[in-house]
Amino acid sequence: MNKDRRSFLQKLSFGAAGLGLGIPPFSKVTRPADGKTNEGIADLHSGPEHADPVFNMCNYAAPKIPTVRIGIIGLGMRGPDAVKRMSFIEGVEIRALCDKFPDRVQKAQKILEEAGIPKAAEYSGEEGWKTLIERPDLDLIYTCTPWRLHTPIALYAMNQGKHVATEVPTCVTLEECWQIVETSEKTRKHCVMLENCCYDFFELLTLNMARNGLFGELVHAEGAYLHNLLELNFSKTGYADMWRLKENASRNGNLYPTHGLGPIAQCMNINRGDKMDYLVSMSSNDFLMGETARARAAADSFYNPYVGRNYRGNMNTTIIRTSLGKTMMLQHDVTSPRPYSRIHQLIGTKGMACKWPDPPRISLGQEDKWISDKQMKELENTYTLPIVKHVGEIAKKIGGHGGMDFIMDWRLIDCLRNGLPLDHDVYDAALWSSIGPLSEASVADRSKSVDTPDFTRGAWKKNKPMVLDLEGGGNTVLRKQVQ
């Protein structure tokens, strides 16, 4: 085991034991189904010997797949929309659909029927996803399940010779992060996280501006997931089996970091010229979820099991320092009555950008003021990326969070069909996801600093920044006209 990694794991294990968590150093802890222990902290203390890197997946171009045959797993909140978006793309065959609940599969079949697409094979039950993955006629597994299944599905799929695209976060424990990295390197199969916010329009504009030096040297960036999900988390018809509420009742940290982190990480060339060094994280107490559980239980005994839980603090703030001495701030709050925001703020030596509060704003030079609407339009005309010019308007019509979901899916398919490197790789999936368990460790230890693993094992020094152009691709068309 790498000396630094062993030291890192030892520090975490000793710190947790000192906090009275009852976790012996390097113990293998199984994640309980009921979520009654702090799962993220527990799993940080497993310490297997991680393999040396066998292949660098950054900028890896897998062999071309002219027709991408897809199996989609998880048809609850996100899956049906993915089925619909993929139904528009030529060069895609949706061969199989799977969900724990059979009725959800049947509803997704209707989407294919309305699109004039052949019926897909159906799988259901607790482990129907395994049978789906074992099909020999699939190239890509597209996962939209609850978080705890993302890594098991990804590992099984890569070992069965399939590429993987998974909803966020890819992993919920540090060990899962290492598992997907090592499996992707061993199998040379992509494991990409479906971080749709990296494909939103202002995020792509500021990425290209950063690439062209308009902000100078980026020194600080901020991202967040500030979204009032209190009612949805307690809804009986929301997340199946109340799985997301259970996550918030068993873990305390930034459980959902990637929407805010992904776009700023790519602007700052994390894993490609710089890397995260360490972080500190702090959570408030819970002032909303516990009280909501008590109020609901008073009127409905269904909620009795959710009373008295140790709910996650309402607001979490995590600060990251990079090896080049830059800083990043992430915030997570899904309970407070506040307007939605991912912040997306970039601060450089020559200017800054900030997306929220709406409308987005940019400041350049030393004038200490926002640019005019006319100047903003000029920047958009000059720095809008080719991918946005190519499919942006179509994406807005097809939809998916204003179009960014379709741009993400289209780009994934276009890269796979043309044998191009993907925009994000398994190292990004692991690192962005790792903020969850790492923030939990810091929060549990009075916000002490926690080292951030280098999943690239030094390759960040030579990895080239991602390039969102259409060279070698852009030939993936729509199956039908979009009105």
The predicted-structure confidence for 58-74, as pLDDT tens digits, reads as follows 999 999 999 999 999 99
pLDDT in tens, 56-115: 999 999 999 999 999 999 999 999 999 999 999 999 999 999 999 999 999 999 999 999
Does some domain include residue 57?
A: no
Three-state secondary structure call for residue 102: helix
pLDDT in tens, 116-150: 999 999 999 999 999 999 999 999 999 999 999 99
What confidence score (pLDDT) does residue 378 get? 98
What confidence score (pLDDT) does residue 135 get? 98
What confidence score (pLDDT) does residue 366 get? 81
pLDDT confidence band for 368 (50 / 70 / 90): confident
> How far apart are the C-alpha atoms of 81 and 111, rounded to whole Å?
9
Decide if 191 contacts 197 (C-beta within 8 A): no
What confidence score (pLDDT) does residue 148 get? 98
pLDDT in tens, 180-199: 999 999 999 999 999 999 99
The mean per-residue pLDDT over the stretch 209-228 comes to: 98
Q: Is the pLDDT of residue 32 over 60?
A: no
Three-state secondary structure call for residue 267: helix
Q: Which domain holds residue 38?
A: 3-43
Decide if 323 contacts 265 (C-beta within 8 A): no
Question: What is the tally of structural domains in the chain?
Answer: 2
Question: How far out from the chain centre does Cα 152 lie?
Answer: 16
The tokens describing 59, both together, are 């900028």
CA distances from 444 to 51, 96, 234, 289, 438 (A): 29, 42, 25, 19, 10
> How far apart are the C-alpha atoms of 142 and 144, rounded to whole Å?
7
Q: Is the pLDDT of residue 26 over 80?
A: no
Q: Is the pLDDT of residue 424 over 90?
A: yes
Does some domain include residue 99?
A: no
CA distances from 215 to 40, 49, 181, 208 (A): 37, 42, 32, 11
> How far apart are the C-alpha atoms of 305 and 241, rounded to whole Å?
12
Comparing 74-83, 198-207, 251-260, 367-376, which segment has the lowest mean pLDDT?
A: 367-376
Comparing 41-50, 426-435, 462-471, which segment has the lowest mean pLDDT?
A: 41-50
In 334-471, the DSSP E strands lie at 345-348, 351-354, 361-364, 450-451
Decide if 424 contacts 192 (C-beta within 8 A): yes
What confidence score (pLDDT) does residue 25 get? 27
Does some domain include residue 52?
A: no
Does some domain include residue 240?
A: yes
Residue type, 267: C
> How far apart are the C-alpha atoms of 17 and 146, rounded to whole Å?
29
What confidence score (pLDDT) does residue 49 get? 56
Q: Is the pLDDT of residue 46 over 50?
A: no
pLDDT in tens, 276-306: 999 999 999 999 999 999 999 999 999 999 9
Beta bridge partners of 87: none
What confidence score (pLDDT) does residue 480 get? 82
The mean per-residue pLDDT over the stretch 461-477 comes to: 94
Name the nearest CA neighbour of 105 among 95, 89, 90, 120: 120
Decide if 170 contacts 430 (C-beta within 8 A): yes
pTM of the predicted model as reported, rounded to 2 decimal places: 0.91
Does some domain include residue 111?
A: no
> How far apart are the C-alpha atoms of 37 and 250, rounded to whole Å?
6
Alpha helices in 138-278 (DSSP H): 150-159, 174-187, 201-211, 230-233, 243-248, 258-267
CA distances from 478 to 67, 274, 325, 401 (A): 13, 37, 45, 19
Residue 268 belongs to a domain with what CATH number? Answer: 3.30.360.10
Does some domain include residue 127?
A: no
pLDDT, mean over the chain: 91
Q: Is the pLDDT of residue 372 over 90?
A: yes
> How far apart are the C-alpha atoms of 373 and 25, rounded to whole Å?
57
Name the nearest CA neighbour of 37 among 442, 440, 446, 447: 440
Does some domain include residue 169?
A: no
Q: Assign residue 126 a region: left if phi > 0, alpha if psi is -120 to 50, beta otherwise? A: alpha
Does some domain include residue 310?
A: yes
